[in-house]
Structure 1
Amino acid sequence: MRAALPRLAALGTPLLFGATTAALLLLVALPLAFILLQALFPQLANGSLAAPLSHLAGVFGDPALFALTGNTLRLGACVVLASAAVGIPLGMLRGLFKLPFKALWDLLFLVPFMIPPYIAALGWITLLQPNGYLEQLAGPRLSSFLFSFGGVVFVMTLNVFPVVYFAVSRGVASSGSRLADVGRVCGASPWRAFLRITLPLATPGIAASLLLVFAMVIEEYGTPAALAANAGFFVLVTGIERRFSDWPIDLPGAATLSVVLVLLAMLVFWLQRRLLGQQVFETQTGKPTEVAPRQLGAWQWPVAAVFLLVALVATAAPLFAIVATALMRTLSGGLRPANLSLANFAEILGGDDSALQALATSAGLGLATALATGVLGLLVAYCVVKTRLRGRRALDLLSVAPNCLPGIVVGVGLILAWNQPLWPATPYNTWAILLLAYCCLLLPYPVRYAGAAFAQIGDNMEAAARVHGADLRRTLLRVLLPLVFPSLLAAMMMVFAVASRELVATLLLAPTGVKTTSLYIWRQFEQGSVGKGMAMSVVTILMSTGLMLAVTLWRQRAERAGAA
């Protein structure tokens, strides 16, 4: 019977596998292929395949390339370690124990992830710069730390550690501490049960989230450009942007550096698979189990104090700087009551039609991206984890590749791919090109999260559904989807948060007349209206937070109704 299960699953999945592969080829492989072609044929943009590889000697002969690559690896590794140091302990505490105000901590830790990185960097600049808000209120001047490698790691860690926190907390909460209790009964100490049982069970989710953190760090442009450049610290993504922005524009060089970024991310992905090996643990068998969190006892308030400290640094500090700037009449006026007003918010919400249009467009694109990537990510994760079909590893690699590319490179790939006369119809110069870009960039979130959840579901549940007459569609919708839905929903919420504030690809691809919140904010900063830009940032954060809070409350109400 066990030997027949993979064959049974494989019989119902070729069509699903083929459709999923076709979607990934269209969404991901096509723009990546044109980037690779541009890296091989420097005259591709001019419609010629002449002089292939003729530019490589100049690109790889540049000594700055090795410095950029080393800086990228160093920055990614440091942020991953710092995010693990913050996110894993907090996630374990949140998932295993009955924590005071647990819903509040989830909301507060989600806010830093929803703040656009370039906005967060500007918020930290206004907070810590000479004569910044911190100096005006308390006296310390920390600008030398902020504009340094350590400052960049600090700011980027606060932006991305929620990825680790939510992956770990949701993963351990689904299995609870019942298996660790079995270890305790067999004589293990609490720490031994944690290290030998609980932590290994959480390994797939931890590894998946840390891979996403690394990919997010090496492709992030806003924070390194705002902070690291002032410290003389440049990475591959800033090198790519300079080749796009400085005249003469070097498309072949930028595409070649993008290929280097992809290779770095693929190397990390391979190392992850090698380190995890065959460590797949099935913790859900279909039997009802008790997953109630433990009591913290006397430790509950010290632990709550730690959560409060992290929330103050990661959420309250940058949010205070953003809101304070949004409320100021003039930046030079400082933090004085006479200099504070709601004029910027009134102009955005009452007298600026373009601002309301930008909010509606971003909300619609964010929801569409979350739904599209959620469905496709679920199918990709199923094909990779729950089937034995040939090509599933290539499918997995293809699904994680977009998160390793800067948004500007994906934008160029989409332009090169769809701005061609050979297509009878094209999404280029329409809102659909933005949807394609967002889906391409953000697909790894639901794939990684759903894949980690699928890895913990035993094959016997799917086999039982098949034996009782359920086809593949019914098995996915009625058996597997409810089990992976909490992890998938968390990923889709993050997709919405990122899609609704994505900047770089939007700047490159947005057609005339289409406005998003990120474009509006960027234009305000270009025009010197920093207050209006920050006011729009506050409105965007509130919109994302409100939607996610509504989804969370709905899930909690549904869980309580199911328990009753």
Structure 2
Amino acid sequence: MAQGAGAGASARGIVWLVCAVLGVLVALPLAFIGLQAVFPELARGSLAHPFGALAQTFADPALLELTANTMRLALTVVGFAALLGVPLGVLRGACRVPAARFWDVALLLPFLVPPYIAAMGWIMLLQPNGYLQQLGGPSLQRWLFSFWGVAFVMTLNVFPVVYFAVSRSVAATGLRLAEVGRVCGASPWQCLWRIVVPLALPALAASLLLVFAMAIEEYGTPAVLASDAGFFVLVTGIERRFSEWPIDLPGAALLSMILVALGLAAFCTQRALLARRGFETTAGKPAAQAAAELGPWRWPVLVLFGLVVLVAVVAPLFSVASTSLLRTLSGGLAWDNLSFAHYAAIGREGGEATRALGNSLVLGLGAACVTGALGALIAYCVVTARVRGSGLIDALSLLPNTMPGIVVAVGLILVWNQRWWPATPYNTWVILVLAYSCLLLPITVRYANAALRQIGPGLEAAARVHGASAAMAIVRILLPLMAPSLAAAMLLVFAIASRELVASLLLAPTGMQTVSVFVWRQFEQGSLGQGMAMSVLAIAMTASVMALAGGLLHRRGGSLTG
């Protein structure tokens, strides 16, 4: 009885800790955004004229078009990401793919390139007299500046979320039971559709939900590509309300509430589809499973992975790197036009560029640690402890990914710029960690949830019977089993946080720059080559950190990406 009471108190303590952190990290900024939507004079310290902005905002005839465009684009990106990520993920998880770790690292690279940088790279590649045309190919500018071009570029940015989630799930659970199915006489296709795919559904649904949320909140690609085609979405509508005079904070907040509603609708749909479809597949000590041999399919699979990496990784990075090496853009791809002048110019900037790289590295690692620890605790509360209000905790952890970075940044400003706080993180590096962690928390939560749902309750129950507290059961049993999926999620958080732009622009303290802010300011000054050179350096730095982390974990028997 004493042990049970102590374990229960430990679990309640974890729940209260999670609620407190979520309150500071998520609830406060989102609450202030909601208050701004209701009270248009909130920024001036007044609660006058409640709901005064509703009529003006909802009377805008463009609102329906913005919402419809957002849904159409997001659903298209989700479909394309599934078509691309699921087959590759199943192959990676179930089969012995040659150079598997190389493909994993390569498919992480899209996360290291800011979306607006990737969009600029595709413009430089496909525009008239662009790099593709200079190399003998056609100009595809008309297609690029269209709905399908925008969906294509956005899909290449986010489909690795699906790839890593599916590959980890298949490798962790599907192989063992598929082998049992083969022993019982099932064909490989039957094992795939009746065993492997159903077991991967929680991870697949979680990843597609993340893709949907990332698609509805993405600003860079629609702003760079879709605006020129006359295709506007809710996020660009919000940005226009922030940037055009007079600034319409209430209207932007109301549009943000629509994004929240879309995200919550997707969340509820996911829960309904997965209701009573969970499977417990890890009930003891995990054992390594032998992946299937590809046999005659070896070369077709290698060609498939190679083509995907060529289009999703090599093409945009080639464009970015080429721009950074060209002395003048008008000179084109010519040997006598290649130069390291832009890199030398960055070196002449003194310590500013070095500090920007260091800041992004530290902030990205900080956000990965915060979201990793909090995501694991949230998954424990929702999946294992199943405390009262777990659905609310789960929904609250998802909400930030339905909000554009610019809105979360404004919410943090509204919260922490109040005079009545005795201490505030505003105008310090801490607020950037808060912003990154708020925005990227859903990644670790979804991955941790999917991993924890496949771990049977018997392991923790056995530990509790032998006197272990809830904290000890988490640290000694659940975390080691969740480690591969959680590490992959933290890696994605680090990659995305180290190149985040919008929140960095609004929240960076005076005198502090990140890589994305440095690049953005170079573009504003017309130094496209220097901006691309800094992007190359940042990509190399982040890739080196991830490769080092992956190597260290691989030596200990794990893997960051699969």
Q: TM tier, shorter chain?
A: over 0.9
Where in structure 1 do 4 or more consecutive aligned residues deviate above 6 Å? 5-9
Q: 1:338, 1:472 → 2: CA distance?
A: 66
Shift of residue 416, structure 1, vs aligned partner: 0.6
1:308-319 paired onto structure 2 within 5 Å: 308-319=306-317
- 2:342 alignment counterpart: 344
- 1:307 alignment counterpart: 305
1:216-231 paired onto structure 2 within 5 Å: 216-231=214-229
- 1:187 alignment counterpart: 185
1:45-56 paired onto structure 2 within 5 Å: 45-56=43-54
Q: Which amino acid in 2 is paired with 1:30?
A: L
Q: Are the aligned partners of 2:279 and 2:454 in contact in 1 as well (CA < 8 Å)? A: yes
Give me the CA root mean square deviation.
1.5
- 1:293 alignment counterpart: 291
Q: Are the aligned partners of 2:81 and 2:159 in contact in 1 as well (CA < 8 Å)? A: yes
Q: 1:431, 1:290 → 2: CA distance?
A: 42
Q: Which amino acid in 2 is paired with 1:158?
A: L
1:121-160 paired onto structure 2 within 5 Å: 121-160=119-158
- 1:19 alignment counterpart: 17
Q: 2:55, 2:272 → 1: CA distance?
A: 33
1:248-263 paired onto structure 2 within 5 Å: 248-263=246-261
Q: 1:538, 1:414 → 2: CA distance?
A: 31
Q: Are the aligned partners of 1:10 and 1:387 in contact in 2 as well (CA < 8 Å)? A: no
Shift of residue 351, structure 1, vs aligned partner: 4.6
Q: 1:10, 1:349 → 2: CA distance?
A: 57
Per the alignment, do residues 132 and 288 of structure 1 end up closer, same or farther by CA in structure 2, a change over 3 Å counting? closer
- 2:35 alignment counterpart: 37
Q: Which amino acid in 1 is paired with 2:326?
A: M
Shift of residue 197, structure 1, vs aligned partner: 0.9
- 2:549 alignment counterpart: 551
- 2:270 alignment counterpart: 272
- Alignment pair present for 1:334 and 2:332: yes
1:424-463 paired onto structure 2 within 5 Å: 424-463=422-461
Shift of residue 234, structure 1, vs aligned partner: 0.3
Q: Secondary structure at the match of 1:514?
A: coil
**Mean alpha-carbon deviation: is it higher for 547-556 or for 314-323?**
547-556
- 1:411 alignment counterpart: 409
Shift of residue 176, structure 1, vs aligned partner: 4.3
Q: Secondary structure at the match of 1:414?
A: helix
Q: 1:387, 1:63 → 2: CA distance?
A: 47
Q: Are the aligned partners of 1:124 and 1:321 in contact in 2 as well (CA < 8 Å)? A: yes
Shift of residue 290, structure 1, vs aligned partner: 4.5
Deviations 1:194-221 (A, max 9, x none): 1111101000100000000010010010
Shift of residue 8, structure 1, vs aligned partner: 9.5
Q: Are the aligned partners of 1:98 and 1:296 in contact in 2 as well (CA < 8 Å)? A: yes
Shift of residue 429, structure 1, vs aligned partner: 1.1
Equivalent residue for 2:210, pick from 209, 212, 216:
212
Deviations 1:93-115 (A, max 9, x none): 00010011101100111111211
Shift of residue 467, structure 1, vs aligned partner: 1.6
**Mean alpha-carbon deviation: is it higher for 257-266 or for 424-433?**
424-433
Q: For structure 2, which runs of at least 5 residues remain unmatched after alignment?
A: none
Q: Which amino acid in 1 is paired with 2:10?
A: G
- 1:384 alignment counterpart: 382
- 1:246 alignment counterpart: 244
- 1:509 alignment counterpart: 507
1:73-112 paired onto structure 2 within 5 Å: 73-112=71-110
Q: Which amino acid in 1 is paired with 2:497?
A: A
TM-score by length of 2: 0.97
Q: Are the aligned partners of 2:174 and 2:195 in contact in 1 as well (CA < 8 Å)? A: no
Q: Which amino acid in 2 is paired with 1:220?
A: E
Q: Are the aligned partners of 1:113 and 1:159 in contact in 2 as well (CA < 8 Å)? A: yes
Q: 1:225, 1:6 → 2: CA distance?
A: 55
Q: Are the aligned partners of 2:131 and 2:333 in contact in 1 as well (CA < 8 Å)? A: yes
Q: 2:409, 2:130 → 1: CA distance?
A: 36
Shift of residue 7, structure 1, vs aligned partner: 9.7
- Alignment pair present for 1:196 and 2:198: no
Q: 1:86, 1:507 → 2: CA distance?
A: 33
Equivalent residue for 2:529, pick from 502, 512, 531:
531
- 1:472 alignment counterpart: 470
Q: Are the aligned partners of 2:382 and 2:394 in contact in 1 as well (CA < 8 Å)? A: yes
- 1:486 alignment counterpart: 484
Q: Are the aligned partners of 1:6 and 1:387 in contact in 2 as well (CA < 8 Å)? A: no
Per the alignment, do residues 297 and 249 of structure 1 end up closer, same or farther by CA in structure 2, a change over 3 Å counting? same
Q: Are the aligned partners of 2:7 and 2:468 in contact in 1 as well (CA < 8 Å)? A: no
Equivalent residue for 1:500, pick from 489, 498, 501:
498
Q: Are the aligned partners of 1:129 and 1:143 in contact in 2 as well (CA < 8 Å)? A: yes
Shift of residue 503, structure 1, vs aligned partner: 0.4
Q: Are the aligned partners of 2:400 and 2:442 in contact in 1 as well (CA < 8 Å)? A: yes
Deviations 1:20-72 (A, max 9, x none): 00100110000000000000000111111111011101111111000000000
Q: 1:185, 1:10 → 2: CA distance?
A: 43
Shift of residue 346, structure 1, vs aligned partner: 2.5
Q: 1:459, 1:556 → 2: CA distance?
A: 28
Q: Are the aligned partners of 1:348 and 1:356 in contact in 2 as well (CA < 8 Å)? A: no
- Alignment pair present for 1:368 and 2:374: no
Q: 1:81, 1:180 → 2: CA distance?
A: 26
**Mean alpha-carbon deviation: is it higher for 245-254 or for 337-346?**
337-346
1:396-407 paired onto structure 2 within 5 Å: 396-407=394-405
Deviations 1:431-462 (A, max 9, x none): 11111111110111111101100000000000
Q: Secondary structure at the match of 2:78?
A: helix
Shift of residue 349, structure 1, vs aligned partner: 3.8
Q: Secondary structure at the match of 2:556?
A: helix
Q: 1:337, 1:8 → 2: CA distance?
A: 72
Q: Secondary structure at the match of 1:378?
A: helix
Q: 2:246, 2:421 → 1: CA distance?
A: 29
Q: For structure 1, which runs of at least 5 residues remain unmatched after alignment?
A: none
Q: Are the aligned partners of 2:174 and 2:199 in contact in 1 as well (CA < 8 Å)? A: no
Q: Are the aligned partners of 2:484 and 2:558 in contact in 1 as well (CA < 8 Å)? A: no
Q: 1:147, 1:118 → 2: CA distance?
A: 14
Deviations 1:292-329 (A, max 9, x none): 11111111111011000000000000000000000011
Deviations 1:73-118 (A, max 9, x none): 0000000000000000000000010011101100111111211100
Shift of residue 9, structure 1, vs aligned partner: 6.7
Q: Secondary structure at the match of 2:557?
A: helix
Shift of residue 516, structure 1, vs aligned partner: 0.5
Q: 2:256, 2:5 → 1: CA distance?
A: 40
Q: Are the aligned partners of 1:175 and 1:283 in contact in 2 as well (CA < 8 Å)? A: yes
Equivalent pairs: percent with the same residue?
Answer: 61
Q: 1:7, 1:65 → 2: CA distance?
A: 54
Q: 1:551, 1:48 → 2: CA distance?
A: 50
Shift of residue 350, structure 1, vs aligned partner: 5.6
Q: 2:512, 2:206 → 1: CA distance?
A: 35
Per the alignment, do residues 6 and 212 of structure 1 end up closer, same or farther by CA in structure 2, a change over 3 Å counting? farther
Q: Are the aligned partners of 1:517 and 1:536 in contact in 2 as well (CA < 8 Å)? A: yes
Q: 2:477, 2:348 → 1: CA distance?
A: 48
Q: Are the aligned partners of 2:169 and 2:200 in contact in 1 as well (CA < 8 Å)? A: yes
Q: Are the aligned partners of 2:69 and 2:232 in contact in 1 as well (CA < 8 Å)? A: yes
Q: Are the aligned partners of 2:10 and 2:471 in contact in 1 as well (CA < 8 Å)? A: no
Q: Are the aligned partners of 1:176 and 1:292 in contact in 2 as well (CA < 8 Å)? A: no
Q: Which amino acid in 1 is paired with 2:510?
A: T
Q: 2:8, 2:323 → 1: CA distance?
A: 57
